[in-house]
Structure 1
């Protein structure tokens, strides 16, 4: 039997009858386009409740409001906090003063629009790196994968490298098995280094001591390629875009 739209007015499930949304239902629109679950009526108050989250420090602090059901769906961190009845969940407010407003805005955008940013924006490398680190810390695989896709797209279209400063930041803020580390190691290992190229300039001027772990990883990757007699994979932007396997740098986990 088809579900009754009066019982579930803001959830979009198979068999639900559509109804026109008013202007004050904009927030609910994002909710119903994401969630597609069989929901027990007793769970609706929790799922449809809105959670307040304050991000950043003064003067750039910003308050976000996200449905608790979506937070639980996307994030291991928020699921644990909400299910475990942490103080923040009981008070109805989280204070993420160490996180960036721009980074959390990308998370909010992904939840409600399925995009990290709108067409008027171009995310800088550093912001994308921060989104990836945030997603790993907060257990948000979908955000990690979207940010990795954005990074790969940016590299393919701009052909800009992560310099020594960025690599230091990445290695200081990620785990040994980080897909973000792997991406840059693979990039340098698979891209030719002709005389005068930006890659050669970077390697010549790099601070080996500060980036020693990266260079260790790079040497291992290069030796592996030599042992397997593998040629350089990404000669230029076009080859990179056509050959790169985004899934190698994704977090494959049920959310």
Structure 2
């Protein structure tokens, strides 16, 4: 059984049915936070929690009524549980200023969780709250936050597009004292991130053609000892 219906829109009978039956114990993160959630409710929203839908050769995820999600973020899973039972997640605008960024980051990890378990409707809500959180806090993800996006989402993920455009804007900001080196470790870990950032810069500048580096002052790319006069070996058509 799978559906993207908002839980608040279901009939009383259907809702009661989803809250009947056994509970599934789900353990999340390295700290092994544990939740007990109605199995029918989980299966209603995601085939991930239904072992009857396993593809040939796929390993069972449910063992003795338990599922282990060691890579996931407990803070993100709390938001997921709220959505399961209430049909909504918090709006970052309603939170205190010192809570907004942590919530935005939880929504980023919620997006990654939803990618894993195939919940597209909630993915859209998560990325919206992440964007809103960035806007309201005037904060942006750094390399440590960006790496998981590239490690755990599909190549064509909208979240990859979002964070690469955020990074491109940071690099091109004339008021910023930082340059692209702030993303160096992320470029190393996720080469596709570097490609996406360059493409985002190209799109954002509408393909403005840079000055031709093979023209002009022929001393521009020379190395000289301090005070040494340049002995030009090639003269360009502009005479320099």
Q: TM over 0.5: same fold? A: yes
Structure-2 separation of matches of 1:205 and 1:46? 48
Structure-2 separation of matches of 1:227 and 1:170? 26
What's the secondary structure of 1:137's corresponding residue?
helix
Tell me the equivalent position of 2:26: 54
Q: How many angstroms does 1:64 deviate by?
A: 2.1
Q: How many angstroms does 1:177 deviate by?
A: 1.0
Post-superposition CA distance 1:131-156 (Å, at most 9, x none): 11111001112321221111011011
Which runs of no fewer than 5 residues in structure 2 stay unpaired?
1-5, 209-240
1:205 aligns with 2:182: yes
The structure that has the greater radius of gyration is: 2
Tell me the equivalent position of 2:132: 153
Post-superposition CA distance 1:46-69 (Å, at most 9, x none): 77324222213686432222351x
Answer whether contact 1:136 1:144 (CA < 8 A) is retained: yes
1:72 aligns with 2:5: no
What's the secondary structure of 2:35's corresponding residue?
strand
Q: How many angstroms does 1:107 deviate by?
A: 0.8
Tell me the equivalent position of 2:227: none
Which runs of no fewer than 5 residues in structure 1 stay unpaired?
1-29, 230-255
Structure-1 separation of matches of 2:105 and 2:71? 16
Post-superposition CA distance 1:23-82 (Å, at most 9, x none): xxxxxxx96x3424996xxxx8677324222213686432222351x212322312x425
Tell me the equivalent position of 2:214: none
Q: Tell me: CA distance 1:58–1:180, structure 2 relative to 1, closer, same or farther (3 Å).
A: closer
Structure-1 separation of matches of 2:66 and 2:180? 47
Post-superposition CA distance 1:196-228 (Å, at most 9, x none): 42xx61524331434532121121233234457
1:81 aligns with 2:51: yes
Structure-2 separation of matches of 1:209 and 1:97? 25
Aligned residues: 190
Q: Tell which has more relative contact order, 1 or 2 (C-alpha 8 A, sep 6+).
A: 1
Answer whether contact 1:116 1:147 (CA < 8 A) is retained: no
Tell me the equivalent position of 1:135: 114
Q: Tell me: CA distance 1:228–1:82, structure 2 relative to 1, closer, same or farther (3 Å).
A: same
What's the secondary structure of 1:216's corresponding residue?
helix
Q: How many angstroms does 1:102 deviate by?
A: 2.1
Q: Tell me: CA distance 1:153–1:91, structure 2 relative to 1, closer, same or farther (3 Å).
A: same
Q: Tell me: CA distance 1:91–1:196, structure 2 relative to 1, closer, same or farther (3 Å).
A: same
* TM-score of the aligned structures, taking structure 2 as reference length: 0.62
